[in-house]
């Protein structure tokens, strides 16, 4: 990594020599951003102030290293979490459903900041990131987490950034929602799903009539990483921090939320606690039919006198393309507008 930085600086210097004015147009903003992230933001998140912290100063940044939790989960996934409201100072990490943040872990690299979706919903007490080991940095993170003995983790967080491209907050626009996720692409969908559930049942947003949630995974390991602690009877243990609002999987037929999991590999294991808890939602050896799901939702919206459906998808390119194509087709055929927000993410 250091060699790459040295070579990059050499290229920059040579470029400046041969075309100083033109090169500086691109280099200066890059250097400003680099200094901002490595010096200013790091100082702010560590101390709460850029200047030297005095003993009387109570502001110490949003995240305290001794309040950060890191754990390894099924499917080579690392979970990083910390209180949304810092316990000793009351400072709050503010974000919206579906946003992302840049993470830097100095013990891995002080120069690398990587974007990850915030998988928590804004109303939850804990902010969580679920990170799949799929590259050099994420593999190092997983290895470090597997060896972590509870020692404080120094982590820098820059965000939150971005937003969902369709207006989910205006209750007058959408009453019907379709959420599709593939593998680790569940992270933004989980945030949005739990937020919608909170809006519907805690804030009594009765305009939310139907939410169809569909998640495709290669095996149960991915699902296990995102569930709470399940006992031998297939029930969540007391105090378990489940990945979803419990009612999403324990609602009655009149619930606004309908969930389906598609496991493309493996077969049902009746002795598996997770399999027991989710048995009525699991489909083995098949893939979901987005055509049927969107057709049903579009026809329902039309019967309810609505002319728009919110569609959100995060997964591999093939999944995203199928949902996009189907949404475009039904927007013409059913005469209901399917508005799509999509993100690409490999399984």
246 and 292 belong to one structural domain: yes
97 and 211 belong to one structural domain: no
**Which residue, of 161, 196, 227, is where some domain finishes?**
161
Which range is most confident: 6-20, 152-166, 242-256, 269-283? 152-166
Q: Which of 282, 174, 178 is nearest to 224 (CA)?
A: 282
Task: State the residue range of the domain holding 152.
Answer: 65-161
Taken as a whole, the chain contains a residue count of: 347
pLDDT at 64: 72
d(CA 305, CA 344) in angstroms, rounded, equals: 32
The arithmetic mean of pLDDT across residues 54-77, rounded, is 71
pLDDT: which is higher, 225 or 48: 225
Is the distance from CB of 264 to CB of 285 less than 8 angstroms? yes
Query: Angle 20-35/2-18 helices, nearest 10 degrees?
Result: 150
d(CA 235, CA 216) in angstroms, rounded, equals: 22
pLDDT: which is higher, 211 or 43: 211
pLDDT band of residue 109 (cuts 50, 70, 90) is: confident
Is the distance from CB of 308 to CB of 300 less than 8 angstroms? no
| CATH number reported for the structural domain that contains residue 250 in this entry | 3.40.50.80
222 and 328 belong to one structural domain: yes
Mind giving me the DSSP string for 95-136? --TT-EEEEE-TTT-SS--EEEE--S-TTSSEEEEEEE--SH
136 and 223 belong to one structural domain: no
> For the ranges 101-105, 117-121, 152-156, 333-337, which has the lowest average pLDDT?
152-156
120 and 236 belong to one structural domain: no
245 and 326 belong to one structural domain: yes
Which range is most confident: 17-21, 64-68, 191-195? 191-195
71 and 155 belong to one structural domain: yes
- Whole-model pTM over 0.85: no
Q: Write out pLDDT tens, residues 186-199.
A: 999 999 999 999 99
Is the distance from CB of 48 to CB of 91 less than 8 angstroms? yes
> For the ranges 59-73, 121-135, 280-294, which has the lowest average pLDDT?
59-73
- Could you tell me if residue 74 is inside a domain? yes
- Could you tell me if residue 187 is inside a domain? yes
209 and 337 belong to one structural domain: yes
Q: Which residue in the block uniquely carries the two structure tokens 């099924």?
A: 74
d(CA 153, CA 180) in angstroms, rounded, equals: 33
> For the ranges 103-117, 153-167, 276-290, which has the lowest average pLDDT?
276-290
> Beta partners for 161?
100
First-residue to last-residue Cα distance in the chain: 27
Q: Write out pLDDT tens, residues 229-249.
A: 444 344 444 333 445 655 555
- The bridge status of strand 176-182 relative to strand 114-117 is unpaired
255 and 122 belong to one structural domain: no
Is the distance from CB of 161 to CB of 118 less than 8 angstroms? no
d(CA 81, CA 125) in angstroms, rounded, equals: 10
Mind giving me the DSSP string for 257-302? EEEEEEE-SS---TT-HHHHHTTTTEEES----HHHHHHHHHHHHH
d(CA 78, CA 58) in angstroms, rounded, equals: 31
Q: How many Cα atoms within 13 Å fall on the side-chain side of residue 3?
A: 0
* Cis before 160 (ω within 30): yes
Is the distance from CB of 288 to CB of 180 less than 8 angstroms? yes
d(CA 195, CA 168) in angstroms, rounded, equals: 10
Number of domains in the chain: 2
| CATH number reported for the structural domain that contains residue 125 in this entry | 2.40.30.10
pLDDT at 28: 74
231 and 292 belong to one structural domain: yes
């Amino acid at each position: 990594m250091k060699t790459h930085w040295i070579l990059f600086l050499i290229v920059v210097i040579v470029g400046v020599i041969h075309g100083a004015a033109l090169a500086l147009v691109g280099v200066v903003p890059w250097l400003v951003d680099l200094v901002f992230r490595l010096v200013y933001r790091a100082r702010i998140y560590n101390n709460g102030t850029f200047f030297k912290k005095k003993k009387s100063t109570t502001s110490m940044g949003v995240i305290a290293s001794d309040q950060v939790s890191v754990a390894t989960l099924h499917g080579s996934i690392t979970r990083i979490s910390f209180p949304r409201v810092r316990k000793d100072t009351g400072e709050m990490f503010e974000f919206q459903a579906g946003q992302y943040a840049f993470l830097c872990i100095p013990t891995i690299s002080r120069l690398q900041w990587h974007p990850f979706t915030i998988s928590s919903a804004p109303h939850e007490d804990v902010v969580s990131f679920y990170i799949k080991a799929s590259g050099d940095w994420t593999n190092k993170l997983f290895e470090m987490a597997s060896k972590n003995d509870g020692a404080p983790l120094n982590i820098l967080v820059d965000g939150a950034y971005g937003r969902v491209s369709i207006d989910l907050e205006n209750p007058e626009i959408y009453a019907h929602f379709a959420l599709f996720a593939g593998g680790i692409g569940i992270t933004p969908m989980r945030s949005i799903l739990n937020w919608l559930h909170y809006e519907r049942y805690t804030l009594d947003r009765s305009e939310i009539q139907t939410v169809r949630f569909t998640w495709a995974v290669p095996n149960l390991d991915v699902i296990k990483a995102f569930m709470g602690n399940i006992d031998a009877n297939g029930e969540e243990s007391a105090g378990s921090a489940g990945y979803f609002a419990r009612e999403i999987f324990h609602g009655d037929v009149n619930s606004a939320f309908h969930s389906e999991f598609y496991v493309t590999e493996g077969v049902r294991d009746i002795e598996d606690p997770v399999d027991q808890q989710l048995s009525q939602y699991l489909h083995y050896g098949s893939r979901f039919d987005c055509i049927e799901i969107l057709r049903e939702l579009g026809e329902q919206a039309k019967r309810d006198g609505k002319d728009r459906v919110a569609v959100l998808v995060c997964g591999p390119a093939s999944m995203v393309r199928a949902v996009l194509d189907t949404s475009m087709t039904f927007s013409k055929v059913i005469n209901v507008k399917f508005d799509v927000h999509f993100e690409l993410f490999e399984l």
